[in-house]
Amino acid sequence: MVEIKSNSSTARSYASNIQNSVSQLDGIGVVTTDEQSTVRGNENAHDHIRLIGTIATQVEGVLLFANDHLQSVAEILKRV
pLDDT digits (tens, 9 = 90+) for 41-66: 677 788 888 888 888 888 888 888 88
Instruction: Let me know: does 64 contact 20? Beta carbons within 8 Å.
Output: no
Element at 60 (helix H, strand E)? helix 42-79
Is residue 2 one of the residues assigned to a domain? Answer: no
Is residue 41 one of the residues assigned to a domain? Answer: yes
- Structural domains of the chain, count: 1
Put simply, whether the predicted model's pTM sits higher than 0.95 gets the answer no
Return the minimum-mean-pLDDT range out of 30-34, 46-50, 74-78.
30-34
Average pLDDT of the chain, as a whole number? 76
Domain that holds residue 30: 8-79
Is residue 1 one of the residues assigned to a domain? Answer: no
Is residue 3 one of the residues assigned to a domain? Answer: no
